[in-house]
Structure 1
Amino acid sequence: MFVWLTQFILFRLAFGMALLLSTDLLASKQLALNSQTADFPVVSYCVDPDWLPYEAIRNNQHVGMSFDYMTYIGVLAEINFSLIKTESWSETLDKLKNGECQVASMLNRSPEREKYLLFTRPFFVGANVLVSNVDQPFLQGYENIGEQVLGTVANYRQAEYIKNYYPNIKLKLVDTELAGLKSLASGDIDLFVGSLLSINAQIQKSGFSNLRIAGIAEPQDILGMGVANGDQVLLKKLDTAIAQLPEWVHVDIYKQWNNVRVIDEIDPRYIFGGIGVFICLIIIGIWWQLIIRRYNGKLVAKNSQLQALQNELVEKNRRLEFMSMRDPLTSMFNRHFMQDRVEQEKQVSLRTNVPLCLILIDIDYFKAVNDQHGHVVGDLVLQEIATIVCSTIRDMDVAARWGGEEFIVLCPNSNLDDAIKLANRLKDAVSGFDFNTVGHLTCSFGVAQHYAKESFVEWFDRADKALYTAKDTGRNTIIAAK
């Protein structure tokens, strides 16, 4: 227990003062850690041993983003995590199935995994990308792959997703992302799909200068923890701890592990080459020195190319991550992200028997705004509405721009009365706001609570009908769906 505490203090010493000042809850638990850690229950967990920067096992130690998250979560949940080492992701899944590992540190939810795992709320979202070894038009998902051979890692969520929804794709499974990128570089496959951050790290580390991002792959990574053996008590503790993580923790971890650096290391082969060079210098003298200078010039040029590639990839990754889940005009979450999030919250609602509601919002007479003042003013109104919605909803709610002048708010753990109260606050906030150039505007609202076994389309349709009823009954009105 003392070793675990020492590792924790050394690992986060630089952020200790921020931890004590950022939130009273984390501060009180940190101050009590010395006396309470010995009494914390031990929970075994497994990781993917080769998935950096998300997680890995190096020198028999757990490293990566998931280690940093579990350090904080363990303190907040009052748990001592104990790593069970595995040699592969397949072995990790087997240990979770037989209950030898109680927790998976960082993974996606999928229908197959839901058979033997419960899932916490997610704490990290990342994009998946398609990688190619040739120049080709940017691919918008899997529909345009055609007859090309696509590689992905066996037992990863992407493999399960492609088999279920795109069975006609020619799919080749590999053991690791590194093996997949090597197959792509050698021409054994035409495309490879994987997580953006880990693909970026592998390309930087292994020097695949001929590989390039060719498109965004669905669905994006929405990563949380998995709990084995149906342990609802442990699931609740972890969910509570994750919800209490302050925003600076997420930002700190992301910055630390997204900053991939080029590291110049001496390959052992160059040592033997150096011996050969030394012998040749003795034999052929100045002639060999000229060859060495030429060779060194090539190395400098290659290193400069690698640095330029890194800078290009980092910038592309930033743009792709934003594009994958954000609306470019309002910076709110987009429809694609919201559809994924709704499916997650539906599963949580059904499993825990807590209510779940949708609020649809439509700006009244928005067409008149565009007609009278122009689309530039209309765009400013949309941005101001987005700011009002995001600043009025609760921390647990999720808001997105659905399209045009329509917005959507997902309300977890909320019944119809709770959602109507929130809709009233939103209605008052909009109607009381003085919009630049336009003046005062109003919105109409449709509210619907999710019914068990109801599809998202059916649920959304009820909320949409309630919204149009609000439009037909005078606008600036809230209508609850039946």
Structure 2
Amino acid sequence: MKMIPYLFCVLISVVLTAIFMEQNNFETFIFNEDRAQLNLNEDEQAYISKHQVFTYCVDPAWPPFEWIDERGKHRGYISEYIGLIEKSLNIKLKLVKTSSWAETLDKSKRRECDLISAAMLTHERTLHLYFTQPYLTYSFAVASHKDVMALNDAVSLDGKAIAIVKGYAYEEQLRINYPKIQLKYVSSAEEGLKQASAKHVFGYLDSKMVIAYLIHKKGFMDLKVIRNLPEHMALSIAVRNDNELLLGIMNKAVDGVDENKKRDIQTRWENKYKTSKSILVYTNSIYWFYTSLFCLSFTVILYFWTKSRMRKNKKKVQFLEAQVQKLEKFDSHYNAYHRHYLVRHLRLLWNEERRQSLPFLICQIDQFDNLKTLLSIEELEALLQDYHVFISGLIPANATYGQWQMDRSVVVGEDMSHSDFLVLAETIRYEVHKSEFAGGINLTVSIVIADGLEKDNLDCLFEELFEHFALMVDPNQVVLCGATVDSSCKWGKPNAYFK
């Protein structure tokens, strides 16, 4: 009982200490390694310690660089970069929501935002904003309807109606470099692409990455990039021009961002929404890219239509599928050879009497019929692309990989030993099983290896190999079929299993 007063005093001390820490933001007195590395002077350190929360505005509709999602959160490439700034300074950045870029600029003029996450320096903006050193640069591109021919040079934009987002800084640069261009204002990049898709304007001008993202995300498949412009935009953090101290702090924070972290963010977003030449440059390659994509989509639709009405006519369905195959031998979309090329390649090797030393395998996605039922055409296309690109990355240089059907692919190991080929098959099965593909989907594959088979008819051999998948009781396995096939195309028992 005598200890109760002492315990009560200790409890009161703990409570008062917690209140003191809360009210005085005690964590700002703890040594912060990131902030120390920025070499802030005494005034800057004191300013940050006193002002722990700063407001900032963003472009609410400029994906994938930045946008405000349906939950009111700042998302995108720039949001992750701003997160590095926030962490290095050990401060809290509070988002001020806006509905358009024009509203963001208006709020900055009224001093409702301490910062703008990304803005380009212009003479007009310097009347109310300071700008840090640039931390992000990007080039411009013009997207137009696919019926429009590619432009040979930027002068071809003269007299054309080009949509841009109202308030974007590159308007000044465009008017100087292309005085005869007709600019039409839109409220967002998505609206600009809609205008181009409907042919209300000649094209929409923005970053290549933004255009690629929206074409992919919103399904503007009737649009293409017809011109890359030489002009570039440099983005900085904008600071209200009545606070030079905050400008100095932000400049040091931008300069202190770790280049590896910055590169990781850039690589991740660019890989997620690819801006490769096959998407962004209208050359012959983009024509074949879209032709291949159309053919694959048409094949899927045609397959289900014919299967429901012509179940008894399997050969005709296969013939119709074959008619829509692309005529080039290699499909850069899947990073794999086409079926017609594989057939020619195999027949050439087969006729060279190399059949006894020619190992090849067939991969089949397990439970593919269920995937076709559950996924939309777009989701299935993304899954197949991710799957084939992944598999092709496992194939060594002395082997050939190609797509045979939607769910089946073939690997020919013309210059591989039999033991290396078995290791390759097991590697494919294992790596697919442990990986996650587009849409967060996990897959397994079953693999049949044809090794040392004596058969004169290559077509019959493939038919029997495909039928052999029906004999598999369990998915996710590798089956080695080295038994001799007799004249009636009947299989002997497989001589090895790996699970």
Where is the helix percentage greater, Structure 1 or Structure 2?
A: 1
Structure number with bigger Rg: 2
Length-normalised TM-score, structure 2: 0.46
- TM-score between both structures, scaled by the size of structure 1: 0.48
